[in-house]
Amino acid sequence: MELRNIAIIAHVDHGKTTLVDELLKQSGAFRANQAVAERAMDSNDLERERGITIMAKCTSVEWKNTRINIVDTPGHADFGAEVERILSMVDGVVLLVDAAEGPMPQTKFVTSKALAMGLRPIVVLNKVDKPDAESDRALDECFDLFAALDATDDQLDFPHMYASGRSGWADHELDGPRKDLSALFDLIVNHVTAPCQLQRVDEDFRMLATTLGSDNFIGRVLTGRVESGTLKVGATIQALSRVGQKIEQFRVTKILAFRGLAQQEIDEATPGDIVTIAGMSKATVSDTLCALAVDEPLEAQPIDPPTITVTFGINDSPLAGREGKKVQSRVIRDRLMKEAESNVAIKITDTPGGEAFEVAGRGELQMGVLIENMRREGFELSISRPQVLVREEDGQRLEPIEEVTIDVDDDYSGAVIEKITGARKGDLVEMRPAGAGKTRIVAHVPARGLIGYHGEFLTDTRGTGIMNRVFHGWAPYKGPIPGRRAGVLISMEDGEAVAYALWNLEERGRMFVGPQAIVYQGMIIGEHSRDNDLEVNPLKGKKLTNVRASGSDDAVRLTPHINFSLEEAIAYINDDELVEVTPESIRLRKRYLDPHERKRMTKKDN
């Protein structure tokens, strides 16, 4: 049976996972009566809730005596390390582009990685049945993008198709018969080169580990593509680091290959196969698994450096330990180290005292996903405001710059440009019409200026704007960027918030808690209408008198309080504040709960 290895790459929400669902169905990977969830490849709860792919996943289909291994990759640049590693084990890519939106920032990000590795993409213009689809414009923009990314003549001569992943068809012509995906299957088989299996069977076994996982029954497992030689169950092999250092020698206990959504045990892996191997105890991502005679590791992709850092600490609030079972710093450290092992884009550093850990990563979304996963596992944490990593080069301070692409209604473009080029120190790169009544704005903005901006952006555009960002490069430090202007309302008591007290405090600002919420001294319960912090008492009930009041006097009507999501809370806080994260609650608090200690530390900092 012939073999083809492909990855499906695209911007977020351009339909990768939906298309893979249809490829699986039409190739016969599912039984006709089999119940399969929508977006079957997004198996993680968070992926289903957010509608995004976080971890790359492999699957395999058979088409006309050819086995096609398909990898569904994340679209977000925050998970770029996944994309880089995955592309090293495929021979071709299907680039999916929304026919209405055209190429977007993450399209550019993943395409640049694919072109740099010499892959020849197939461009599929998806969602051509949308009312606002402009297929010809999107195709022209794809060509311009390839040219801008220094594609070779071979890569510029890319085949393209029109498709609707949801409806399950792809065609070479826009007004073709629109029956099924057989034309796409045939194009993949004819255009993508087969792995050179025959020439490399007699060489020593070598495979680059691209993803790490764990199985409750067989333990630690590594997935990758066999580059040369054959591997049989029971063979003894070794793991070499990226610099050629021997990490361990182990016996292969199982070899698993992808068949549809499941993995099946096989006895032997040959060059070109994408397989999962069990038996190792130390080997990890980017290591070379090879025969004992090999001493040169395979070249592993360099990983883009982290750009932000967040401090994960123990929860030391008065409510600690009420909702979560995992509260000790040792348990938190073990979990973070396990994460860093499988996610090479994350770096963990211990802080003095050992009760907090610096976690450096690629972006706020990546951090938000890690924190959300940990709270669902029963952890309680205190999280600091994200800090941007700055580096020194030739005596100059450099900071990360993001390329931001914004689609907004024409009416709001002025407000958006004013915000990103003013206080946030961004540079406007491009501004052009993008369809009926829409404007596309491209700007280069310091990563510091974008922390906490998304909520403000949605308010400024009445929830209609779309903002995408991707790492652009390093540039000289642009000076101070003002943070949150408003102060906060801080509880001065421990207890249960009273409706009457919150009603009286509404003239002071907007509330973050409702009646009967448990509060404590130093907890942030609202936003002050002025720029200073104010200590308030949310427990103060109405004084009883001997005069009987009418019922209307007791009925307090409160304005609905603000409920922060995890990412919103982390972006909202200042440097002297923390987010308390537990399995059931997200609370904002001051770093120092005692007011005297707060004043003392403020004086010390000043």
pLDDT score for 252: 92
Contact 97, 107 (CB under 8 A): yes
* CATH code of the domain in which 401 resides: 3.30.70.240
| 31 and 117, same domain (yes or no) | yes
Neighbours of 519 (CB within 10 A): 25
Please report the pLDDT score of residue 32 as a whole number: 45
Are both 79 and 183 inside the same structural domain? yes
| Per-residue pLDDT tens over the stretch 385-409 | 888 888 888 888 998 888 888 888 8
Q: Residues 114-132, buried b or exposed e (16+ Cβ, 10 A)?
A: bbeeebbbbbbbbbbeeee
Region of 272 please: left (phi>0), alpha (psi -120 to 50) or beta.
Answer: left
Task: Single out the residue of 170, 147, 177 nearest to residue 99, CA to CA.
Answer: 170
Q: Do 11 and 121 reside in the same domain of the chain?
A: yes
The string of pLDDT tens digits covering residues 488-539 is: 999 998 999 988 889 989 889 899 998 889 999 999 999 998 888 899 999 8
Amino acid, res. 5: N
Specify whether 493 is located in the same domain as 560.
yes
Q: What is the pLDDT of residue 42?
A: 40
What does the mean pLDDT of the chain come to?
82
Residues with Cβ within 8 Å of 377's Cβ and at least 6 positions away in sequence, in order, are 326, 335
Q: Say yes or no: 36 and 83 in one domain.
A: yes
Whether residue 445 is found in the same domain as residue 513:
no
Q: Radius of gyration (Cα) for the chain, nearest Å?
A: 27
3-state secondary structure of 315: coil
Residue 351 lies in a domain: no
pLDDT less than 70: residues of the chain: 12-14, 28-57, 74-82, 84, 105, 196-199, 261, 301-304, 342, 435, 544-555, 606
Place of tokens 């492909």: 6
Do 238 and 171 share a structural domain? no
Residue 570 is assigned to a structural domain of this protein: yes
Residue 278 φ/ψ region, left for φ over 0, alpha for ψ in the -120 to 50 degree band, beta for the rest: beta
Which CATH number goes with the domain that contains 238? 2.40.30.10
Distance (Å, whole) CA 524 – CA 573:
10
Q: How far apart are the first and last CA of the chain?
A: 71
The DSSP 8-state label assigned to residue 260 in this structure reads B
Structural domain includes residue 339:
no
d(C-alpha 339, C-alpha 343), whole Å: 6
- Residue 169 shares a structural domain with residue 272: no
Please tell me whether residues 156 and 27 are part of one structural domain: yes
Domain range for 568: 488-575+588-605
Residue whose structure tokens are 């004013």: 418
Beta bridge partners of 586: 581
Dihedral angle over CA of 419, 423, 424, 430, nearest 10: 50
pLDDT value of position 33: 42
What's the domain count of the chain? 4
166/207 same-domain check = no
- The pLDDT assigned to 39 comes to 41
Which residue, 191, 216, 250, sits at the end of a domain?
191
Pair 111, 244 in one domain: no
Strand ranges inside 314-395, DSSP E: 347-350, 356-361, 381-383, 387-388, 391-393
Shared domain for 116 and 25, answered yes or no, is yes
Question: Quick check: 96 and 8 in contact, CB under 8 A?
Answer: yes
- pTM of the predicted structure, to 2 decimals: 0.71
Residue 268 placed within a domain = yes
Q: Which segments of 62-170 does DSSP mark as H helices, in order?
A: 80-87, 105-116, 135-148, 153-156
